[in-house]
Amino acid sequence: MNRATLKVAFVAAAMFVAGTALAQGKCKVQTLLIGNATANDTQAAGNDKLAELLTKYSNGCFKASARHGSALGGNREMIAQLQAGSIHGMQLPAGFISGVVPEISMFDMPFLLPGRPALITAFAAQSKAAKEMKKLAEKKGIHILSFHGIGPQSFLTKFPVSKLSDIQNKKFRVIPSPPRVGAYQDWGGVARPMEFSEVYSALQQGTIDGLENPPDVLYKMKMHEVAKYYTVTEHFAFASAIIVSKKWFDSLPKNLKDVVTRAGKETTTFDDAAYTKSQDESFELMCKAITCTNMPPAEIQKMKDLALKGVWERMKADPQRGPIAKLLLQDVANFNKSKK
């Protein structure tokens, strides 16, 4: 047997042993932590599903569990722990990653994404900008398994909103993402970046006057108890990211990497169905408890026009974010063409 044949035989044997070990669970069990900032909502359920699938498909090589309600810290702290490898996975709104990967904040551009969860997921799957975001995240120690949709965002406020001028000089909690902060500057509102765990008390105390979020998050986190007006605008939509630690992922053998990839893919499918159901049900239930209205189309057009002339132009001119913003506009055109 020559050297080349021996090498092939050795590689084949190694792959067989690794595959057999995985199939029989003969591996050192890794305890995995899946971090989550929220509780009792669909994001929490999605992180539970990710943990469940990681455990299931590893045949005992992984023992994963999700920790909810910022038990492992706020999103910023958890992302840092994920980069270091002490937290293994998360799914969270993509905008929170922008503190580490600024280009990902471009998913937060106003009136960019379609509102329905599965449509957001489909948009991200064909997006050239999303592929670039994943490459940039790898350089910062974050391996993105997928982007998926959460749902459209509208205003929940302590005061009625029927026109754009109603939000001017009012304080709104936002994700710390430049497109969101910039949009409020265009609209005359005051953006207040804040961890979600602080929002309920901030509404109670009057530190903020309102926030934006999909119905699912607002209702299940009981924000409607302290802010009684929901105005449908869908001025933003939430794209979420399922992420794992690159440091940890790179340390895995191929068969376990495949397990992680498969778990991420199936969690995305779970999320699409779960978020669609939850958004619809939560909207209906919330609107039985508080006042829900639609922003008049003419007022929404004012918001769009101001954003197109304002934050969209500023982001396109930004040396770092500009290339991604321009790619996203191409993605929108391609996505709309594919639907015809």
Per residue in 71-130, pLDDT (tens digit) is 999 999 999 999 999 999 999 989 889 889 999 999 999 999 998 999 999 999 999 999
Please give the Cα distance from 273 to 271 (Å, whole number).
5
Please give the Cα distance from 77 to 90 (Å, whole number).
12
The per-residue pLDDT for 26 is: 75
The per-residue pLDDT for 141 is: 98
DSSP-assigned beta bridge partners for residue 156: 211, 230
Stretches in the chain below the pLDDT threshold 50: 1, 4-25
In degrees and rounded to multiples of 5, residue 177 shows phi and psi of: -130, 125
Strands 171-174 and 142-157: unpaired
The per-residue pLDDT for 338 is: 85
Distances (CA, A) of 303 to 77, 215, 328: 33, 21, 19
Who contacts 138 (Cβ-Cβ below 8 Å, separation ≥6)?
246
CATH class for the region spanning 3-339:
alpha beta
The per-residue pLDDT for 16 is: 40
Distances (CA, A) of 270 to 57, 122, 243: 16, 14, 16
Where are the extended beta strands (E) located within the chain?
Answer: 30-35, 62-67, 89-93, 142-157, 171-174, 190-193, 210-213, 229-245, 291-294
The per-residue pLDDT for 25 is: 47
Both tokens of 308, joined, read 């197109």
Measured torsion, CA atoms of residues 156, 160, 163, 166, in degrees rounded to the nearest 10: -90
Contact yes or no for 105/224 (Cβ under 8 A): no
Please give the Cα distance from 182 to 134 (Å, whole number).
24
The per-residue pLDDT for 33 is: 98
The domain spans of the chain are: 3-339
Contact yes or no for 175/105 (Cβ under 8 A): no
The per-residue pLDDT for 15 is: 41
